Protein backbone atom coordinates (compact mmCIF):
# COMPACT_ATOMS: atom_id res chain seq x y z
CA UNK A 1 0.00 0.00 0.00
CA UNK A 2 1.95 2.89 -1.28
CA UNK A 3 0.36 6.02 0.08
CA UNK A 4 -0.13 4.58 3.54
CA UNK A 5 3.46 3.44 3.49
CA UNK A 6 4.53 6.92 2.50
CA UNK A 7 2.58 8.55 5.31
CA UNK A 8 3.78 6.01 7.81
CA UNK A 9 7.38 6.38 6.79
CA UNK A 10 7.04 10.12 6.78
CA UNK A 11 5.90 10.10 10.36
CA UNK A 12 9.10 8.31 11.18
CA UNK A 13 11.01 10.98 9.37
CA UNK A 14 12.64 8.46 7.11
CA UNK A 15 11.40 9.64 3.75
CA UNK A 16 13.16 12.19 1.68
CA UNK A 17 12.14 13.04 -1.86
CA UNK A 18 11.88 9.83 -3.78
CA UNK A 19 10.70 8.58 -7.12
CA UNK A 20 11.12 8.68 -10.82
CA UNK A 21 8.54 8.41 -13.56
CA UNK A 22 6.52 6.27 -11.25
CA UNK A 23 2.95 6.96 -12.05
CA UNK A 24 2.10 6.28 -15.61
CA UNK A 25 -0.18 3.84 -17.30
CA UNK A 26 0.41 4.25 -20.98
CA UNK A 27 -0.48 2.93 -24.38
CA UNK A 28 1.51 3.69 -27.47
CA UNK A 29 1.11 3.05 -31.13
CA UNK A 30 2.17 -0.21 -32.71
CA UNK A 31 3.10 1.17 -36.11
CA UNK A 32 5.13 4.03 -37.45
CA UNK A 33 3.82 4.80 -40.88
CA UNK A 34 5.66 7.27 -43.06
CA UNK A 35 3.36 9.91 -44.42
CA UNK A 36 1.00 10.04 -41.46
CA UNK A 37 0.47 13.45 -40.01
CA UNK A 38 1.80 12.01 -36.78
CA UNK A 39 4.25 9.27 -37.68
CA UNK A 40 4.54 8.25 -34.06
CA UNK A 41 0.82 7.69 -33.73
CA UNK A 42 -1.47 8.13 -30.79
CA UNK A 43 -0.60 7.97 -27.10
CA UNK A 44 -2.66 7.70 -23.94
CA UNK A 45 -1.29 7.92 -20.42
CA UNK A 46 -2.93 8.29 -17.05
CA UNK A 47 -2.01 8.70 -13.43
CA UNK A 48 -1.64 5.62 -11.25
CA UNK A 49 -2.40 2.04 -12.15
CA UNK A 50 -5.64 2.58 -13.99
CA UNK A 51 -4.99 0.11 -16.76
CA UNK A 52 -8.65 -0.31 -17.66
CA UNK A 53 -8.90 3.42 -18.28
CA UNK A 54 -5.93 3.51 -20.64
CA UNK A 55 -7.25 0.37 -22.33
CA UNK A 56 -10.44 2.27 -23.06
CA UNK A 57 -8.66 5.40 -24.23
CA UNK A 58 -6.42 3.28 -26.40
CA UNK A 59 -9.38 1.53 -28.01
CA UNK A 60 -10.87 4.91 -28.89
CA UNK A 61 -7.59 6.15 -30.38
CA UNK A 62 -6.94 2.92 -32.20
CA UNK A 63 -10.31 3.17 -33.89
CA UNK A 64 -9.37 6.64 -35.15
CA UNK A 65 -11.17 8.52 -32.38
CA UNK A 66 -10.19 11.96 -31.17
CA UNK A 67 -7.90 12.73 -28.27
CA UNK A 68 -10.81 14.44 -26.55
CA UNK A 69 -13.12 11.41 -26.81
CA UNK A 70 -10.32 9.13 -25.68
CA UNK A 71 -9.51 11.21 -22.60
CA UNK A 72 -13.17 11.52 -21.61
CA UNK A 73 -14.04 7.87 -22.19
CA UNK A 74 -10.86 6.70 -20.50
CA UNK A 75 -11.50 8.46 -17.21
CA UNK A 76 -15.20 7.52 -17.31
CA UNK A 77 -14.13 3.92 -16.68
CA UNK A 78 -12.87 4.88 -13.24
CA UNK A 79 -15.78 7.20 -12.52
CA UNK A 80 -18.15 4.26 -13.03
CA UNK A 81 -16.17 1.82 -10.88
CA UNK A 82 -17.67 1.67 -7.37
CA UNK A 83 -14.54 -0.08 -6.11
CA UNK A 84 -12.46 2.99 -6.87
CA UNK A 85 -13.07 5.15 -3.81
CA UNK A 86 -11.27 8.19 -5.13
CA UNK A 87 -13.27 8.95 -8.24
CA UNK A 88 -16.96 9.11 -9.18
CA UNK A 89 -19.35 6.44 -7.93
CA UNK A 90 -18.16 5.09 -4.58
CA UNK A 91 -15.83 8.04 -3.95
CA UNK A 92 -15.15 8.82 -0.32
CA UNK A 93 -17.42 11.54 1.01
CA UNK A 94 -16.62 14.85 2.63
CA UNK A 95 -16.62 15.31 6.40
CA UNK A 96 -20.40 15.59 6.38
CA UNK A 97 -21.02 12.49 4.29
CA UNK A 98 -21.58 14.06 0.86
CA UNK A 99 -19.73 12.71 -2.17
CA UNK A 100 -18.73 15.75 -4.21
CA UNK A 101 -16.93 15.43 -7.51
CA UNK A 102 -14.45 17.73 -9.23
CA UNK A 103 -13.49 17.33 -12.89
CA UNK A 104 -12.21 19.18 -15.90
CA UNK A 105 -11.42 18.57 -19.55
CA UNK A 106 -9.37 20.49 -22.11
CA UNK A 107 -8.69 20.17 -25.82
CA UNK A 108 -6.05 21.29 -28.26
CA UNK A 109 -7.82 24.54 -29.04
CA UNK A 110 -7.71 25.66 -25.40
CA UNK A 111 -11.39 24.91 -25.02
CA UNK A 112 -12.05 23.77 -21.50
CA UNK A 113 -14.81 23.00 -19.04
CA UNK A 114 -15.00 22.13 -15.37
CA UNK A 115 -17.36 21.21 -12.58
CA UNK A 116 -16.62 21.65 -8.91
CA UNK A 117 -18.49 20.10 -6.01
CA UNK A 118 -20.86 18.21 -8.30
CA UNK A 119 -23.23 15.94 -6.37
CA UNK A 120 -25.39 13.10 -7.65
CA UNK A 121 -23.88 12.50 -11.11
CA UNK A 122 -21.35 9.79 -11.82
CA UNK A 123 -19.70 11.21 -14.91
CA UNK A 124 -18.41 14.54 -13.74
CA UNK A 125 -16.00 14.64 -16.68
CA UNK A 126 -18.87 14.45 -19.16
CA UNK A 127 -20.72 17.24 -17.38
CA UNK A 128 -17.48 19.24 -17.60
CA UNK A 129 -17.35 18.52 -21.31
CA UNK A 130 -20.91 19.79 -21.72
CA UNK A 131 -19.95 22.96 -19.86
CA UNK A 132 -17.17 23.36 -22.42
CA UNK A 133 -19.29 22.59 -25.44
CA UNK A 134 -22.74 23.88 -24.56
CA UNK A 135 -22.16 27.00 -22.50
CA UNK A 136 -20.12 30.18 -22.86
CA UNK A 137 -18.58 29.40 -19.46
CA UNK A 138 -15.67 27.35 -18.18
CA UNK A 139 -16.72 26.38 -14.64
CA UNK A 140 -19.98 25.46 -12.94
CA UNK A 141 -20.10 24.71 -9.21
CA UNK A 142 -22.31 22.97 -6.66
CA UNK A 143 -26.05 23.16 -7.12
CA UNK A 144 -25.67 25.02 -10.40
CA UNK A 145 -23.51 22.23 -11.77
CA UNK A 146 -26.07 19.63 -10.67
CA UNK A 147 -28.92 21.63 -12.20
CA UNK A 148 -26.99 21.87 -15.45
CA UNK A 149 -26.27 18.13 -15.42
CA UNK A 150 -29.96 17.42 -14.98
CA UNK A 151 -30.89 19.83 -17.77
CA UNK A 152 -28.40 18.07 -20.02
CA UNK A 153 -30.12 14.76 -19.41
CA UNK A 154 -27.62 13.08 -17.09
CA UNK A 155 -29.31 10.75 -14.65
CA UNK A 156 -29.07 11.31 -10.95
CA UNK A 157 -27.41 8.63 -8.81
CA UNK A 158 -26.55 8.27 -5.15
CA UNK A 159 -22.76 8.18 -5.25
CA UNK A 160 -22.23 7.07 -1.65
CA UNK A 161 -21.81 3.30 -1.67
CA UNK A 162 -22.33 1.16 1.43
CA UNK A 163 -18.58 0.57 1.65
CA UNK A 164 -17.63 4.26 1.55
CA UNK A 165 -20.45 5.11 3.96
CA UNK A 166 -19.32 2.48 6.44
CA UNK A 167 -15.73 3.73 6.35
CA UNK A 168 -16.89 7.30 6.82
CA UNK A 169 -19.00 6.31 9.83
CA UNK A 170 -15.95 4.57 11.30
CA UNK A 171 -13.76 7.58 10.58
CA UNK A 172 -16.17 9.84 12.41
CA UNK A 173 -15.98 7.71 15.54
CA UNK A 174 -12.28 8.15 16.03
CA UNK A 175 -11.00 11.07 13.99
CA UNK A 176 -10.43 14.60 14.87
CA UNK A 177 -10.89 16.73 11.78
CA UNK A 178 -7.91 15.77 9.64
CA UNK A 179 -8.82 15.10 6.04
CA UNK A 180 -6.42 12.94 4.13
CA UNK A 181 -5.52 12.76 0.50
CA UNK A 182 -7.13 9.65 -0.94
CA UNK A 183 -5.99 6.91 1.26
CA UNK A 184 -5.38 3.75 -0.68
CA UNK A 185 -3.49 2.62 -3.78
CA UNK A 186 -5.18 4.76 -6.30
CA UNK A 187 -6.08 8.37 -6.65
CA UNK A 188 -7.40 11.05 -8.87
CA UNK A 189 -7.31 10.01 -12.47
CA UNK A 190 -5.71 12.44 -14.87
CA UNK A 191 -5.42 11.32 -18.47
CA UNK A 192 -3.48 12.84 -21.37
CA UNK A 193 -4.00 11.80 -24.97
CA UNK A 194 -2.54 12.50 -28.39
CA UNK A 195 -4.48 11.33 -31.43
CA UNK A 196 -3.39 10.39 -34.94
CA UNK A 197 -4.17 13.91 -36.07
CA UNK A 198 -1.66 15.34 -33.64
CA UNK A 199 -4.34 16.80 -31.39
CA UNK A 200 -3.81 16.70 -27.65
CA UNK A 201 -6.43 16.53 -24.93
CA UNK A 202 -6.67 15.90 -21.21
CA UNK A 203 -9.19 15.08 -18.53
CA UNK A 204 -8.98 14.96 -14.77
CA UNK A 205 -11.63 13.71 -12.34
CA UNK A 206 -11.75 13.00 -8.60
CA UNK A 207 -13.83 12.84 -5.48
CA UNK A 208 -11.02 14.84 -3.92
CA UNK A 209 -9.54 14.66 -0.49
CA UNK A 210 -11.35 12.09 1.65
CA UNK A 211 -13.42 13.66 4.47
CA UNK A 212 -12.61 17.17 3.29
CA UNK A 213 -14.48 20.17 4.60
CA UNK A 214 -17.76 20.62 2.80
CA UNK A 215 -17.16 22.94 -0.14
CA UNK A 216 -13.45 22.21 -0.41
CA UNK A 217 -12.18 22.12 -4.00
CA UNK A 218 -8.72 20.84 -4.87
CA UNK A 219 -6.59 21.23 -7.96
CA UNK A 220 -8.24 18.62 -10.15
CA UNK A 221 -10.96 20.80 -11.74
CA UNK A 222 -8.77 23.92 -11.88
CA UNK A 223 -7.43 24.52 -15.37
CA UNK A 224 -3.70 25.19 -15.08
CA UNK A 225 -3.45 23.41 -11.73
CA UNK A 226 -4.89 19.90 -12.14
CA UNK A 227 -4.69 19.89 -15.93
CA UNK A 228 -3.29 21.95 -18.76
CA UNK A 229 -3.06 21.39 -22.51
CA UNK A 230 -1.10 23.57 -24.89
CA UNK A 231 -1.09 22.47 -28.54
CA UNK A 232 2.33 24.04 -29.15
CA UNK A 233 4.04 22.20 -26.32
CA UNK A 234 2.15 19.39 -24.62
CA UNK A 235 -0.05 18.59 -21.68
CA UNK A 236 0.26 17.82 -17.98
CA UNK A 237 -1.96 16.64 -15.16
CA UNK A 238 -1.50 16.32 -11.41
CA UNK A 239 -2.39 14.11 -8.49
CA UNK A 240 -1.77 14.49 -4.79
CA UNK A 241 -2.30 17.35 -2.38
CA UNK A 242 -4.43 19.73 -4.41
CA UNK A 243 -3.75 22.77 -2.26
CA UNK A 244 -0.05 22.61 -3.10
CA UNK A 245 -0.73 22.09 -6.80
CA UNK A 246 -3.06 25.09 -6.91
CA UNK A 247 -0.49 27.26 -5.13
CA UNK A 248 2.04 26.57 -7.87
CA UNK A 249 -0.37 26.37 -10.83
CA UNK A 250 1.26 23.00 -11.23
CA UNK A 251 0.19 21.65 -14.60
CA UNK A 252 0.71 24.98 -16.31
CA UNK A 253 4.16 25.07 -14.76
CA UNK A 254 5.00 21.63 -16.17
CA UNK A 255 3.90 22.69 -19.66
CA UNK A 256 5.94 25.89 -19.42
CA UNK A 257 9.00 23.90 -18.30
CA UNK A 258 8.56 21.68 -21.36
CA UNK A 259 8.30 24.83 -23.49
CA UNK A 260 11.70 25.82 -22.14
CA UNK A 261 13.13 22.56 -23.47
CA UNK A 262 12.74 20.10 -20.63
CA UNK A 263 11.60 16.57 -21.34
CA UNK A 264 8.25 15.56 -19.82
CA UNK A 265 10.02 13.71 -17.03
CA UNK A 266 12.46 16.54 -16.31
CA UNK A 267 9.58 19.01 -16.23
CA UNK A 268 7.55 16.85 -13.83
CA UNK A 269 10.55 16.36 -11.59
CA UNK A 270 11.29 20.06 -11.41
CA UNK A 271 7.63 20.80 -10.69
CA UNK A 272 7.51 18.31 -7.82
CA UNK A 273 10.83 19.47 -6.38
CA UNK A 274 9.77 23.10 -6.56
CA UNK A 275 6.73 22.29 -4.48
CA UNK A 276 8.80 20.31 -2.02
CA UNK A 277 11.25 23.19 -1.70
CA UNK A 278 8.44 25.51 -0.71
CA UNK A 279 7.45 22.96 1.93
CA UNK A 280 10.82 22.10 3.39
CA UNK A 281 10.41 19.93 6.44
CA UNK A 282 6.88 18.79 5.63
CA UNK A 283 6.45 15.12 4.96
CA UNK A 284 2.71 14.83 5.21
CA UNK A 285 1.73 15.17 1.61
CA UNK A 286 2.32 13.77 -1.84
CA UNK A 287 2.46 15.32 -5.29
CA UNK A 288 2.74 13.67 -8.69
CA UNK A 289 2.62 14.95 -12.25
CA UNK A 290 2.54 13.19 -15.59
CA UNK A 291 3.19 14.91 -18.90
CA UNK A 292 3.01 14.30 -22.64
CA UNK A 293 4.60 16.48 -25.29
CA UNK A 294 3.62 17.06 -28.90
CA UNK A 295 6.22 14.49 -30.03
CA UNK A 296 4.39 11.85 -28.04
CA UNK A 297 7.12 11.64 -25.38
CA UNK A 298 5.83 10.95 -21.88
CA UNK A 299 7.11 11.25 -18.35
CA UNK A 300 6.08 11.53 -14.75
CA UNK A 301 7.44 12.18 -11.31
CA UNK A 302 6.16 11.56 -7.84
CA UNK A 303 7.52 11.70 -4.33
CA UNK A 304 6.15 8.24 -3.68
CA UNK A 305 8.61 5.78 -2.11
CA UNK A 306 7.93 2.87 -4.42
CA UNK A 307 5.18 2.77 -6.94
CA UNK A 308 3.61 0.03 -8.95
CA UNK A 309 2.58 1.24 -12.34
CA UNK A 310 1.36 -0.42 -15.45
CA UNK A 311 3.14 -0.11 -18.75
CA UNK A 312 2.09 -1.07 -22.22
CA UNK A 313 4.25 -2.68 -24.81
CA UNK A 314 4.69 -1.29 -28.29
CA UNK A 315 1.58 -3.10 -29.45
CA UNK A 316 -0.56 -1.37 -26.93
CA UNK A 317 -0.84 -4.43 -24.71
CA UNK A 318 -0.74 -4.03 -20.99
CA UNK A 319 2.19 -5.57 -19.19
CA UNK A 320 2.28 -6.49 -15.55
CA UNK A 321 2.75 -3.66 -13.08
CA UNK A 322 6.31 -2.43 -12.74
CA UNK A 323 7.78 -1.40 -9.44
CA UNK A 324 10.04 1.58 -9.97
CA UNK A 325 11.51 4.32 -7.88
CA UNK A 326 14.80 5.89 -7.05
CA UNK A 327 16.05 7.20 -3.78
CA UNK A 328 17.24 10.75 -4.10
> Binding residues for ligand ASP, per CB under 6 A?
181-182, 187-188, 206, 208-209, 218-220, 239-242
Question: How far is it, in rounded angstroms, from Cα 227 to Cα 138?
Answer: 13
Identity of the residue, 62 or 274, whose beta carbon is nearer to ligand ASP in the bound complex: 274
Of residues 84, 75, 67, the one with CA closest to residue 220: 75
Identity of the residue, 61 or 203, whose beta carbon is nearer to ligand ASP in the bound complex: 203
Question: How far is it, in rounded angstroms, from Cα 150 to Cα 39?
Answer: 42
Q: How far is the CB of 92 from ligand ASP (least distance, A)?
A: 10
Active-site position among 188, 206, 283, 298: 188
Identity of the residue, 18 or 238, whose beta carbon is nearer to ligand ASP in the bound complex: 238
Helix axes 67-79, 124-134, angle to 10 degrees: 150
Question: How far is it, in rounded angstroms, from Cα 156 to Cα 123?
Answer: 10
Identity of the residue, 258 or 290, whose beta carbon is nearer to ligand ASP in the bound complex: 290
Identity of the residue, 68 or 209, whose beta carbon is nearer to ligand ASP in the bound complex: 209
| Strand residues in the chain grouped as ranges (E) | 24-28, 43-47, 101-107, 112-118, 139-141, 189-194, 200-206, 227-230, 234-240, 287-293, 298-302, 308-312, 318-323
Question: How far is it, in rounded angstroms, from Cα 291 to Cα 314?
Answer: 19
C-alpha distance across the termini of the chain, in Å: 21
Question: What burial letters (b/e) apply to 37-70, b meaning 16+ CB within 10 Å?
Answer: ebebbbbbbbbbbbbbbbbbbbbbbbeebbbbbb
Question: How far is it, in rounded angstroms, from Cα 79 to Cα 85?
Answer: 9
Identity of the residue, 241 or 291, whose beta carbon is nearer to ligand ASP in the bound complex: 241
Helix axes 51-62, 67-79, angle to 10 degrees: 150
Q: How far is the CB of 206 from ligand ASP (least distance, A)?
A: 5
Q: How far is the CB of 120 from ligand ASP (least distance, A)?
A: 19
Q: How far is the CB of 199 from ligand ASP (least distance, A)?
A: 26
CA 232 to centroid of chain Cα atoms = 21
Task: Give yes or no: 11 in active site.
Answer: no
* Cβ-closest position to ligand ASP: 242
Q: How far is the CB of 241 from ligand ASP (least distance, A)?
A: 6
CA 112 to centroid of chain Cα atoms = 15
**Burial label, 25 (beta-carbon count in 10 A; 0-12, 13-18, 19+):** buried
Radius of gyration of the chain (CA): 18
Identity of the residue, 190 or 264, whose beta carbon is nearer to ligand ASP in the bound complex: 190
Positions annotated as catalytic residues are: 188
Amino acid sequence: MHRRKFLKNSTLGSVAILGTAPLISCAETETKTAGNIRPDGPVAICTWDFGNATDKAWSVLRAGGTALDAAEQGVMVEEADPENQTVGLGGRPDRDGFVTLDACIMDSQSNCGAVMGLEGYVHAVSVARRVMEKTPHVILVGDGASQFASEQGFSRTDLLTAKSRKEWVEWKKTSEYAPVINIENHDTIGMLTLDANGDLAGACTTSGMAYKLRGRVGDSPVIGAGLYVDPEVGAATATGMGEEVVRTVGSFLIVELMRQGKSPEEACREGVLRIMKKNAGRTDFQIGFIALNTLGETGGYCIQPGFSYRQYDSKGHRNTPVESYLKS
